[in-house]
Amino acid sequence: MLSCAGFHADRPLLGVLGDLCRLPGVEVTLLRAPGLARLQLPDAVRVIPCAPERAAETVGACIADADAVWPVVPESYGMLELASRHILGCGSLLLGSRPDAVSVAASKHETARVLKAAGIAVVDTFLLHDALPAGASAWVVKPDDGAGCSETRIYADCDAARLATGERDGGRYVMQPYLRGAHRSMSMVCADEQVLLMSVNEQRMAVFDNQLHYMGSTVNGVREQQRQCRALAERVIGALPGLWGCVGIDFIMTEDGPVVLEVNPRVTMAHAALRQSTGHNPAQLLLELLLGKSCAPLEARRIKPVSIDISPFPEPPESRHRNAAG
């Protein structure tokens, strides 16, 4: 039996559940807070409400009853690291990256330090009181442990960026010079030194009132520079030991080549379309790696681009209520 825990980005969660339900002999249990939106789940998924007042008891019982646990939670505020440590502490099989790797990847500042030390092109990432270099066309301020584009803003100069960082929470936010280029991401299934690049994705971004918004992706929408992207993926996995399972890399494709923005030690939005795009079930590939098997490269002729569109603005509560009722 496999147990999953979900968060507000429900599309990748639904992708994981759909993948798992296609595996023979696998029973899937989902822990979900009662207050979250109702999902259209596969009939095979058993849902257990996880109320806050009984969360520890409920989670502990489900972990003890499961053969393996796949945490589908963001890395913000240490949530993914804490969940991963708890799963391992219970003696259960963790279908995800090891806590030490999650700890590094959860921090954009630490990720940049580790990748730069390994000779990998990564965006320079600064803390509030660091000396900032001159010459950047603009500056990006974001939470050091943020997931996606949450609270990501762009400022015209470093003074404005530093002021905004100090006014919000100087200890939690970082500053990065704005890089010109195409927003891209990679989705991988990996285990130890094995890396299977499943997709290179085009990301759609927009800026409203200095706020960066994610508008969606075209999974496997980038077919050129596959060899360069695969080499980058292998170098990143080598520099961050302990990354395991479904992992994503966000990067900017600049005139000089790819520059890493962040590493996501979890399923990302692109996971929702991976099976449809590649014809391969990521969960099946993951379990094969778990059994010590090698994953063959994907067949290029079977790969097709699949678009995922995201509304950058949350629905008003009354709209969500109407949708759930309908």
Interval 90-103 mean pLDDT: 95
Architecture of domain 2-95: 3-Layer(aba) Sandwich (3.40)
Q: Worst-scoring range by mean pLDDT, 110-119, 151-160, 201-210, 315-324?
A: 315-324
Instruction: Report residue 320's pLDDT band, with 50, 70 and 90 as the boundaries.
Output: very low
pLDDT of residue 324: 36
Q: Worst-scoring range by mean pLDDT, 27-31, 131-135, 230-234?
A: 131-135
| Topology, domain 181-318 | D-amino Acid Aminotransferase; Chain A, domain 1 (3.30.470)
Neighbours of 17 (CB within 10 A): 24
Interval 147-174 mean pLDDT: 85
Whether the pLDDT of residue 113 is over 70: the answer is yes
pLDDT of residue 325: 35
pLDDT of residue 38: 86
pLDDT of residue 107: 96
Whether the pLDDT of residue 8 is over 50: the answer is no
pLDDT of residue 167: 79
Sequence-separated (6 or more) residues with CB below 8 Å from residue 277? 199, 219, 220, 303, 304, 305, 306
Interval 192-196 mean pLDDT: 83
Percent of the chain exceeding pLDDT 70 equals: 92
Between strands 194-208 and 211-219, the pairing is antiparallel
CA–CA separation, 132 vs 158, rounded Å? 7
Whether the pLDDT of residue 133 is over 50: the answer is yes
Instruction: Report residue 314's pLDDT band, with 50, 70 and 90 as the boundaries.
Output: low
Q: Worst-scoring range by mean pLDDT, 45-54, 82-91, 287-296?
A: 287-296
Q: Answer with the residue of higher pLDDT: 56 or 235.
A: 235
* pLDDT tens string 284-312: 999 888 888 777 777 767 899 999 998 76
pLDDT of residue 123: 97
pLDDT of residue 323: 38
HSE (side-chain half, CA atoms, 13 Å) at 82: 10
What's the whole-model pTM score?
A: 0.90
pLDDT of residue 238: 94
Q: Answer with the residue of higher pLDDT: 150 or 29.
A: 29
- The domain ranges of the chain are 2-95, 124-177, 181-318
Helix/strand/coil (H/E/C) assignment for every residue in the chain: CEEEECCCCHHHHHHHHHHHHCCCCCCEEEEECCCCCCCCCCCCEEEEECCHHHHHHHHHHHHHHCCEEEECCCCHHHHHHHHHHHHHHCCCEECCCCHHHHHHHCCHHHHHHHHHHCCCCECCCECCCCCCCCCCCCEEEEECCCCCCCCCEEECCHHHHHHHHHHHHCCCEEEEECCCCEEEEEEEEEECCEEEEEEEEEEEEEEECCEEEEEEEEECCCCCCHHHHHHHHHHHHHHCCCCCEEEEEEEEEECCEEEEEEEECCCCCCHHHHHHHHCCCHHHHHHHHHCCCCCCCCCHHHCCCEEEECCCCCCCHHHHHHHHHC
